[in-house]
Structure 1
Amino acid sequence: MRIRPFRYNPSPEISVIEYASTFCCFLILILVITTGNFECLSCNMGYLNSVLQSSSQVHAEYGPVSGGGLSQNGKFSYGYASSPGKRSSMEDFYETRIDGVDGEIVGLFGVFDGIFLYYFLYISPSLLHTCMQILILVICSNAVAVLEAISHGLLLAQDSTVVNCKFYAVAVHYILPMAVSGHGGARAAEYVKQNLFSNLIRHPKFISDTKSAIADAYNHTDSEFLKSENNQNRDAGSTASTAILVGDRLLVANVGDSRAVICRGGNVNVLHSYVIAPSPIRSVGVNLSAFAVSRDHKPDQSDERQRIEDAGGFVMWAGTWRVGGVLAVSRAFGDRLLKQYVVADPEIQEEKIDSSLEFLILASDGLWDVVSNEEAVAMVKPIQDPEQAAKRLMQEACQRGSADNITCVVVRFLANQGGSSHTVPA
């Protein structure tokens, strides 16, 4: 993440004194917005603090963790590893769960990456005056309505003229999330971790129509989270990449930019061609192929951009392509102010679990920002213990300088190792 420093740009129209007084008022407004939330703000600004001053407590509260297990029927084993990396806060969560549903042993695995925004601006005095006016309007009136108007690039001025403020909207969106989000990302990701799979396995069609059950569970969890946030003055969001193992089926569902990748060994001709990817990813080694079985949801993708614009939103460049100039993913849980455009509808991919399917990797973008799909598969391939494999990925991402939290889950399929097939009572 890039932090852009504040820079004073002299303007002939505005004196230094006017500039200084405006800036002081601006700081006071930010303090008013965050009254009673100073502690939360300081926690979530940890990454910023670590840039501005050195700190020896980066991992005082959070540290690397790992673990693993084996299914009761011996058909799969799993391991996980998670670390805050260079960040002083932790917005990544994971879930590894084995349940019995209608006599079937079911594996449920997920990586949830909380969305939290840090922003700085190059601010000129004229832009600062405009930001001040909009901030005052947000504080003194219906904030949601104002931000919705801003997201459409329009704002009704005091003289009843419509002002095109897309450019200024970026400044407002950059400032407000930083000031009022609190532990937004962690709160959302933890909620999804605690509720998504429980909602899923309680769905009446979980076994008979698993895909529709997953879609319903995603949207229901999103709706319930938004209801729970009604009394919050903060916005929060989370990605989710999940894998559901039911019988001989692997179903991967995804919203956001966490990712799922599988490895199939043997002859490349057995690889499925219906995976969600533009084309099969090149093989690693002679008898090894990597497939992305989820798609990163980015606002600049043609179909995602069209969906957002059809809903009345817009996508613009602000360091990267962002929904409304704010959010770098086009699908997520939460994100109430952008919910009309940032949906929690998952894309679902199904794979058959057979002897050619070797393992699955689920990971947050802290891994995928610095390690390619092919490299990840090549690292995991020789490591039979999935916990050690997950730790290897995590450590490699750290060594390559990943600036984000890093969470990895590895599931090894043991069908070709003679796992038993008994079931558990419902």
Structure 2
Amino acid sequence: MVCNASLSKIVVRGGYLVNLTRNGGHFRDFDARSGVRYHWNRRIAAIRTMMVDTGSTATADPTAAVANVLTEKESTDGSSGYASGGCKSEDGRLSCGYSSFRGKRATMEDFYDVKMSKIDGQMICLFGIFDGHGGSHAAEYLKEHLFENLVKHPQFMMDTKLAISETYQRTDLDFLDAESNTFRDDGSTASTAVLVGSHLYVANVGDSRAVISKAGKAIALSEDHKPNRSDERKRIENAGGVVMWAGTWRVGGVLAMSRAFGNRLLKQFVVAEPEIQEAEIDEEMEFLVLASDGLWDVVPNEDAVSLARAEEEPDAAARKLTETAFTRGSADNITCIVVRFHHDKMEAGSPPAAAA
């Protein structure tokens, strides 16, 4: 990955700046809001989370095995909870940009993640938006564990869709176990895109959303999990739950989404089973937008695609989207990732056709 050429880069992670400079096998964290330094006892093997046992001998440098959002152009403002940046894949087939803004909320509960690696010679890219509610713990847990768990799934390369489904639900159980001795009961959405070669898997839990631009047309690759969605309402009521109006449609009069990670007290009705859509990235696929509902509440799918198309670079597109959502009156945290596909690089990297 181009932006992983050196481990002395800076990573903006949620509300944190993470310095991945090696220091005796440790990593150093700086809280961007307070300037306090933290030390993580993570030895260099810890960043091998993107490596899976394929039965072959791995020769890759473990420090290059995984990259979070390592940015070449980044800015962060601890007072406003704003961060933005971007990077490119090592093979040049895609570039991505992100922008995250606390907005009018008192606290920041959105997190995002980007990871890239090669597994069995295939380029693997993972993008995620995690929108917390009732606190930030669930969203932060997903950022730290969801993709790590996914690539460790034994069927990840052979049956990616199954691996995603099982990993989502397993990670939800792990989070609930980790929180079992606390009085917290927060939760989080997850909108993720997993690119294996040129095959795209979009998985969604909650009301964050993924939209792709195909020849300039906005196509939703996820459907929001709202309690008043007829199939979701039926599922909840069959499980013994109720959906009622309390300013908006809510599960038990409490939660305004019908699927989420966490939310222990509503877990019987609010599941973390993802809906997964698949797509093949062809030359008509221009870019993908993943965003929390802070964007989608005020920016329709078609507007998001139109705004992003007007920007040449995905980091500029991501910034434009968050700024537009804020100026249109979004009252929520606003986070988005824009992934642009470079088809000239894809064609150049394609294997030669077999001789007749």
> TM-score interval w.r.t. the shorter chain?
0.7 to 0.9
Query: How far, CA to CA, are the matches of 1:204 and 1:253 in structure 2?
Result: 19
- In the other structure, the counterpart of 2:82 is 64
Query: How far, CA to CA, are the matches of 2:172 and 2:348 in structure 1?
Result: 37
- In the other structure, the counterpart of 2:106 is 88
Q: 1:357 aligns with which of 285, 297, 309?
A: 285
For 1:10-409, list aligned pairs within 5 A: 61-116=79-134, 184=135, 186-265=136-215, 288-409=216-337
- In the other structure, the counterpart of 1:151 is none
Q: Deviations over 1:84-122 (max 9, x none)?
A: 011120000000111222221111000000012xxxxxx
What one-letter code is carried by the residue in structure 2 that aligns with 1:321? W
Change beyond 3 A, Cα 1:206–1:289: same
**Contact 1:74–1:419 at 8 Å: present in 2 too?**
no
Q: Moved runs in structure 1, 4+ residues, more than 6 A?
A: none
Higher strand residue share? 2
The Cα shift of 1:315 comes to: 0.5
The Cα shift of 1:311 comes to: 0.6
Query: How far, CA to CA, are the matches of 2:82 and 2:347 in structure 1?
Result: 31
Query: How far, CA to CA, are the matches of 1:213 and 1:351 in structure 2?
Result: 17
Three-state SS of the structure 2 residue aligned to 1:254 is strand
Three-state SS of the structure 2 residue aligned to 1:404 is coil
Unpaired segments ≥5 residues, structure 2: 1-76, 352-356
Unpaired segments ≥5 residues, structure 1: 1-58, 117-183, 266-287
Query: How far, CA to CA, are the matches of 1:189 and 1:296 in structure 2?
Result: 17
Three-state SS of the structure 2 residue aligned to 1:197 is helix
**Contact 1:191–1:225 at 8 Å: present in 2 too?**
yes
Change beyond 3 A, Cα 1:422–1:97: farther
**Contact 1:71–1:98 at 8 Å: present in 2 too?**
yes
Three-state SS of the structure 2 residue aligned to 1:384 is coil
What one-letter code is carried by the residue in structure 1 that aligns with 2:282? D
What one-letter code is carried by the residue in structure 1 that aligns with 2:158? S
Query: What is the identity percentage for the equivalent residue pairs of Structure 1 and Structure 2?
Result: 59
What one-letter code is carried by the residue in structure 1 that aligns with 2:337? V
**Contact 1:188–1:225 at 8 Å: present in 2 too?**
yes
Query: How far, CA to CA, are the matches of 1:90 and 1:291 in structure 2?
Result: 29
Three-state SS of the structure 1 residue aligned to 2:154 is coil
Three-state SS of the structure 2 residue aligned to 1:97 is strand
Relative to the length of structure 1, the TM-score reads: 0.63
Query: How far, CA to CA, are the matches of 2:329 and 2:189 in structure 1?
Result: 22
Query: How far, CA to CA, are the matches of 2:223 and 2:346 in structure 1?
Result: 32
**Contact 2:294–2:325 at 8 Å: present in 1 too?**
yes
Give RMSD over aligned pairs.
Answer: 1.4
Higher helix residue share? 1
Query: How far, CA to CA, are the matches of 2:297 and 2:115 in structure 1?
Result: 27
Q: Deviations over 1:327-381 (max 9, x none)?
A: 0000000000000000000000001011110000000001001100000000011
The one of the two structures with greater contact order (alpha-carbon pairs below 8 A, sep at least 6) is: 1
Q: Deviations over 1:163-197 (max 9, x none)?
A: xxxxxxxxxxxxxxxxxxxxx2x111000111000
- In the other structure, the counterpart of 1:161 is none
- In the other structure, the counterpart of 1:46 is none
Three-state SS of the structure 2 residue aligned to 1:257 is coil
Three-state SS of the structure 2 residue aligned to 1:305 is helix
**Contact 1:67–1:387 at 8 Å: present in 2 too?**
yes
Query: How far, CA to CA, are the matches of 1:405 and 1:418 in structure 2?
Result: 35
Change beyond 3 A, Cα 1:314–1:84: same
State the number of aligned residues.
275
Three-state SS of the structure 2 residue aligned to 1:219 is helix
**Contact 1:238–1:334 at 8 Å: present in 2 too?**
yes
What one-letter code is carried by the residue in structure 1 that aligns with 2:309? K
What one-letter code is carried by the residue in structure 2 that aligns with 1:209? D
What one-letter code is carried by the residue in structure 2 that aligns with 1:235? D
The Cα shift of 1:416 comes to: 3.7
Relative to the length of structure 2, the TM-score reads: 0.75
**Contact 1:73–1:422 at 8 Å: present in 2 too?**
no
Change beyond 3 A, Cα 1:104–1:336: same
The Cα shift of 1:74 comes to: 1.2
Three-state SS of the structure 2 residue aligned to 1:388 is helix
Three-state SS of the structure 1 residue aligned to 2:127 is strand
- In the other structure, the counterpart of 1:143 is none
The Cα shift of 1:63 comes to: 2.3
What one-letter code is carried by the residue in structure 2 that aligns with 1:91? E
Three-state SS of the structure 1 residue aligned to 2:202 is strand
